[in-house]
Amino acid sequence: MKPHVILNSAMTLDGKIATRTGSSEISGPEDLLRVHQLRRKLDAIMVGVNTVLEDDPRLTVHKFQPDESDSSLREFDNPLRVITDSKARTPLNSRVLNQEAGTLIAVSQKAPGERVKALRDKGGNVDVILAGEARVDLAILMDELAQRGVRSLLLEGGSTLNFSMLQAGLVDEVRVCIAPMIAGGVGAKTLAGGEGVDYMKDAFKLELKKSYKLGKDFILEYEVLK
């Protein structure tokens, strides 16, 4: 069992999701609104711990006031926030641990007990689960989320987690916002990092379903072929 997973990312024309210094203000206001509208409809949002460490995101719906009569909206305001964090490195003062939404931190057996305890001690809205030995096992995590009633999940990066999720065959859709910018930089993170595939024949194959201009940006929506 697993949720339906949509990988969503903003990138430059050369595929960078951040500069080499970690700056990641890429898309325009219209795209930020699109992402928050999507967040309001899905059950969970997931990011890797490096995104928490570098960007300190809130991962909530706060860019618009939804029309509550819209039947495609979820019952509650904010989706569950999910962090893959093998060694429980999420800082205790990070914004994903605030009271605005529930947060589930997936750790591995490598996580120091005192770090796990400190996260658990944060209180009612923070949950820590063990999934995997050295690193978070994403298939186990997806199964656990599905069992908790998460039917849809927005994967919001970063580069390393995006690749792992694709490699594990856990991504169903990819939606990208391409901003009219080129950042360059060999060290700048791209849409999918990790090990990468050795040959193009092994690349993850997609089928374009929709494309449109949004403000100054361009949106592409793909289905992942399996």
Residues that bind ligand NAP (CB under 6 A): 9-10, 17-18, 22, 24, 26, 47-51, 54-55, 84-87, 89, 135-136, 138, 156-161, 164, 189, 193
Burial of 68 (0-12, 13-18, 19+ CB in 10 A): exposed
Smallest distance from the beta carbon of 216 to ligand NAP, in angstroms? 16
Smallest distance from the beta carbon of 68 to ligand NAP, in angstroms? 28
User: In Å, what is the CA distance from 162 to each residue of 17, 46, 124, 154, 158?
Assistant: 11, 10, 29, 11, 6
How far apart CA 37 and CA 175 sit, in angstroms, is: 14
Task: Give φ, ψ of 66 to 5 degrees.
Answer: -70, 155
Q: Which is nearer to ligand NAP, 67 or 195 (CB)?
A: 195
Q: Which is nearer to ligand NAP, 37 or 124 (CB)?
A: 37
Smallest distance from the beta carbon of 47 to ligand NAP, in angstroms? 6
Residue 189 contacts residue 158 (beta carbons within 8 Å): yes
How far apart CA 186 and CA 16 sit, in angstroms, is: 10
Q: Which is nearer to ligand NAP, 70 or 92 (CB)?
A: 92
Smallest distance from the beta carbon of 75 to ligand NAP, in angstroms? 26
Smallest distance from the beta carbon of 141 to ligand NAP, in angstroms? 8
Q: Which is nearer to ligand NAP, 65 or 216 (CB)?
A: 216
Q: Which is nearer to ligand NAP, 48 or 172 (CB)?
A: 48
Q: Other C-beta atoms within 10 Å of 52: how many?
A: 24
